[in-house]
Amino acid sequence: MTDVAEEEKASTREERLVQFLVAMAEADKRLRLAIGAELAEQLPGLEQDQAGAAARLEKAYTAVQGPERDLAGIVAEIAAAEADRARWQAKLSGETPREERASARFQHAECESDITRLSQKRDFAETQLVPLRDAVTKARRDLEAATARLEGLRFNAAEPLLAYYAAGQKTSAYGMRFGLALESALQDKAHPEHDAAIEHMLHLCTVSGFRTEDFSDRLPSDARAAARFWDEVYQSANPPQPPPSGREVMDQVHAEMTVAMANKALERSPSRIDDFRGPAMPKPVPQRDYMEVPRLKDMLS
């Protein structure tokens, strides 16, 4: 009879575990669907962003087309002028008759003048094109970024297996995945799972590198708390002083004037160091026999 009761208890326990696992799987499925639905609500906004980026790119591309055609025309004119210059250059040799050389010299100079003028015009056109080309580049990058965000979110919302990744982690539904299980245990110190919940939260903070400074607008910052502490220490060590009276101010001014006058007097008076460093009297040169030479007067005497 006891064995039958034990078997019934084991069977009941296994059934309850199976029911719990089925319920957990169903809850996980519904949570993934809820995340997908929340992500789908963001799709219209991202589609508008993509459309706006595409419109800006089209506008920037249209604005650059005219100046690009003008620049291409100037470049073609320069190429034609350089070809003419080369043709006239070939006729400046000594084998060409004199009359033709004179005409070729004139045409060559005209080509040089045209190339210089067109080159300046080309440089100015290229300078004017720089901001227009930059606008096209920026608009293209904005469109690529908007398209990537839209396609990623669309794929994230349509595939339940990816609900816990990427944009899905920023949804409120994803936040409930752990929040509902730990919030009550964290708030209630008498809860039997309170210590375990704290340990789990500390583990999550450690492995994620979470710091309150990253969310200073939403959570109290350790750095701000330390700053307030040291501000209080400094204020207690340096209490504010009352403003000085008029008499104290005048005494301070007179003391500073006295010190300044004393310093000027010291600057005017020579110091022992200055006397030591000044020019010294020449010393007499000692007699050196080895430097004496016979003089003519001594030799004749």
The domain segmentation of the chain, as residue ranges, is: 18-159, 171-213
User: Using N-to-C axis directions, what is the helix angle for 98-158 and 2-40, rounded to 10°?
Assistant: 150
Token digits of residue 136:
């096209």
60 contacts 160 by C-beta, under 8 angstroms: no
Which tens digit of pLDDT belongs to each residue from 9-46?
A: 667 778 888 887 888 888 888 888 988 898 999 999 99
Give Cα separations from 156 to 45, 165, 287 (angstroms): 15, 8, 109
Residue 238 C-beta-side C-alpha neighbours within 13 Å: 4
Higher pLDDT, 51 or 105: 51
**pLDDT band with cut points at 50, 70 and 90 for residue 47:** very high
Average pLDDT over residues 214-220: 72
> Percentage of the chain with pLDDT > 90?
25
What is the topology classification, in CATH, of domain 18-159? Helix Hairpins (1.10.287)
Q: Which of 116-120, 214-218, 245-249, 284-288 has the lowest mean pLDDT?
A: 284-288
Distance CA 32, CA 160 (A): 6
32 burial level (CB within 10 Å; 0-12, 13-18, 19+) = buried
Q: How far apart are the first and last CA of the chain?
A: 162
Give the rounded percent of residues in the chain with a pLDDT score beyond 70. 80
Cα(275)–Cα(279) distance, integer angstroms: 8
The pTM assigned to this predicted structure is: 0.50
209: alpha, beta or left, given left = phi > 0 and alpha = psi -120 to 50? left
Percent composition of the chain: helix, strand, coil (DSSP 3-state, to 5): 80, 0, 20
Distance between CA 202 and CA 95 in Å, rounded? 95
Angle between helices 98-158 and 43-90 (to 10 degrees): 170
Report which residue type is found at 282: P
Contact (Cβ atoms closer than 8 angstroms) between residue 64 and residue 129: yes
pLDDT tens digits along 145-182: 999 989 888 888 888 888 888 888 788 888 777 665 67
Structure confidence at residue 278 as a pLDDT band (50, 70, 90) = low
Q: Which residues contact 72 (CB under 8 A, 6 or more apart)?
A: none
Question: What's the rounded mean pLDDT across residues 99-120?
Answer: 87
Contact yes or no for 182/205 (Cβ under 8 A): no
CA distance 85 to 116: 12
254 has a pLDDT exceeding 80 = no
Give the position of tokens 């005497």: 301
pLDDT tens digits, one per residue of 89-99: 888 776 777 77
Residue scoring higher pLDDT (105 or 69): 69
By three-state DSSP, how is residue 288 classified? Answer: coil
